[in-house]
Amino acid sequence: DREKTGVAIGASATNPVTGKEIPIWIADYVLMGYGTGAIMAVPSGDERDFEFARKYSLPIVATQMPPDSWFTSHKLKPSVDCSTWPAAYVGEGTYVNSRNDSLVLDGVTEMTEAKRRTIDWLVSRGIGRGAVTYKLRDWLFSRQRYWGEPFPIVYDEDDMPVSVPDALLPVTLPELADFKPQALDPDDEISDPMPPLARRADWVKVEMEVDDPITGKKMPRATMRREINVMPQWAGSCWYELRYLDPTNSRAFVDAEVERYWMGPQHDGHTGGVDLYVGGVEHAVLHLLYSRFWHKVMYDLGHVSSSEPFHRLFNQGYIQAYAYRDSRGQTVPANDVQERDGKYFYNGEEVAREYGKMGKSLKNIVTPDEMYDEFGADTFRLYEMSMGPLDASRPWNTRDVVGMQRFLQRVWRNLVDEDTGELTVSDAPCPEPLLRALHVAIDGVRRDMDGMRFNTAIA
């Protein structure tokens, strides 16, 4: 909230859409890490730009008309005259004062549509192009728990962090009998939360020689204190596609030749990387974005040959199932719910049934182990793939699994004599009608598999 200051440099730039001259200012509130560090200020739609323009008496032109409710909340009559506005309007609104001879945004109500029209206009005249940019936020990268990669960081007697020498890597977790974190004691004013690793004082305190972080010279051997937080699960998932290629390599995270074979560029213009990633839609803005950043760093350092980690993301649907809630609104284990006369009961209390994503939080999960034990792994896999399109959410019904098991049993009986255990397959030439049907099936299944249509391939 500190006061915003700036200096006009005495030069101007031309707005390519309006043709008007815009004064150039150097301001202390512009974030140098945002984009290129140079921004187009729109005071009517940005709070910081609004405050800056008001202070230096710069023009404020409304580009969007706020809704009547906004004016009512500020006890104003609706107006595009920004001199009456107490602050910038930062929400969605109908565009105003936004047109030239060939581009009209006035009346547009959605920002995405206004952006599309403006980009198309700039591209058609050869004075701009559309681009996708990513906003990678700072990453909270420490956890106060046991299961995680230890940080290769130690602290000297002045609490200055120093990297563990390469010769002492990797840092491994010590054995712990109790790995629960110690929470803050609300009845003790001086208590501190304690990560599990803090219990191993013999591991936390370590004698070693480290390099001076400033000069790079070897420092005398001294007692250091290890970092007792650990990395989150992201630390592994950001590069696991590379470790899968060479999981038993004890010398490197992946052999260079192995990485080039599986993930390296295959021809000129090809970036390399994983061909297909199947995962939930939430991966696009979480795991995959951070994983791409991680991969780009390794590429810049020369550790991998592929400049991009992933080519295509396919979002699978959710497996859905019934969940049950008691009178408190708490979910109860679905497996322990009994149905009586169209109503549902848990421990004698009636519960409400709802439909949602299968998961641990709703206590309606069906574990693969249960299905394997009762029906076999092949039955379980085939049922999941036959439930419907892979990108659609599908309802789970354990009773339907039996039908898939019977189908596999029929296939088995076509090939094996159940009384003798001998194969019933013949070496005789295949009849032409059957051969044609076989090739039609092969072609159809191949097309379905390529298109991720596993349910129709099975059907």
* pLDDT tens, per residue, the chain with 459 residues: 688 999 999 999 999 999 999 999 999 988 776 777 888 999 999 999 999 999 999 999 999 999 999 999 999 999 999 999 999 999 889 999 999 999 999 999 999 999 999 999 999 999 999 988 777 777 788 888 888 999 999 999 999 999 999 999 989 999 998 888 776 666 666 667 789 999 999 999 999 999 888 888 888 999 999 999 999 888 888 999 999 999 999 999 999 999 999 999 989 889 999 999 998 887 887 888 889 999 999 999 999 999 999 989 999 988 898 999 998 889 999 989 999 999 999 999 999 999 888 888 889 888 889 899 999 999 999 999 999 999 998 888 888 999 999 999 999 999 999 889 899 888 889 999 999 999 999 999 999 999 999 999 998
pLDDT given at position 191: 63
State the Cα angle at 75 between 69 and 79, rounded to 5°. 70
pLDDT given at position 25: 96
- φ, ψ dihedrals at 340, nearest 5°: -140, 115
pLDDT given at position 324: 93
pLDDT given at position 397: 86
Burial class (CB within 10 angstroms; exposed 0-12, middle 13-18, buried 19+) of 76: middle
d(CA 373, CA 405): 13
pLDDT given at position 179: 82
* CATH of region 371-459: 1.10.730.10
d(CA 219, CA 26): 44
Q: How many CA atoms lie within 13 A of 42 on its CB side?
A: 10
Tokens representing residue 197 in the block: 């690793």
pTM of full prediction above 0.75: no
Q: Which residue carries 């390529």 as its tokens?
A: 450
d(CA 375, CA 387): 16
pLDDT given at position 454: 94
CA distances from 4 to 12, 30, 137 (A): 21, 9, 24
pLDDT given at position 284: 80
CA 20 to chain centre: 42
What angle, 0 to 180 degrees and rounded to 10, lies between the N-to-C axes of helices 377-386 and 368-375? 120
* CATH of region 6-124: 3.90.740.10
Tokens representing residue 201 in the block: 């004082």
pLDDT given at position 41: 93
Candidates 242, 230, 231, 232; CA nearest to 292 is 242
Tokens representing residue 203 in the block: 């591991």
Tokens representing residue 264 in the block: 């390296």
pLDDT given at position 239: 93
Tokens representing residue 32 in the block: 């140098």
d(CA 24, CA 13): 7
Tokens representing residue 326 in the block: 């008691």
SS3 per-residue string spanning the chain: CCCCCEEEEEEEEECCCCCCEEEEEEECCCCCCCCCCCCCCCHHHCHHHHHHHHHCCCCCCCCEECCHHHHHHCCCCCCCCHHHCCCCCCCCCEECCCECCCCECCCCCCHHHHHHHHHHHHHHCCCCCCCCCCCCCCCCCCECCCCCCECCEEECCCCCEEECCHHHCCCCCCCCCCCCCECCCCCCCCCCCECHHHHCHHHHEEEECCECCCCCCECCCEEEEECCCECCCHHHHCCHHHHCCCCCCCCCCCCHHHHHHHHCCCCCCCCCCECCEECCHHHHHCHHHHHHHHHHHHHHCCCCCCCCCECCEECCCCEEEEEEECCCCCEECHHHCEEECCEEEECCEEEEEEEEECCHHHCCCCCHHHHHHHHCHHHHHHHHHHCCCCCCCEECCHHHHHHHHHHHHHHHHHHECCCCCCECCCCCCCCHHHHHHHHHHHHHHHHHHHCCCHHHHHC
pLDDT given at position 269: 87
pLDDT given at position 142: 86
Pairing of strands 319-325, 394-395: parallel
The β-bridge partners of 391 are: none
Q: Where are the domains of the chain?
A: 6-124, 134-232, 235-314, 316-365, 371-459
pLDDT given at position 349: 92
* Maximum C-alpha span of the chain: 97
- Identify whether the C-beta of residue 14 lies closer than 8 Å to the C-beta of residue 20: yes
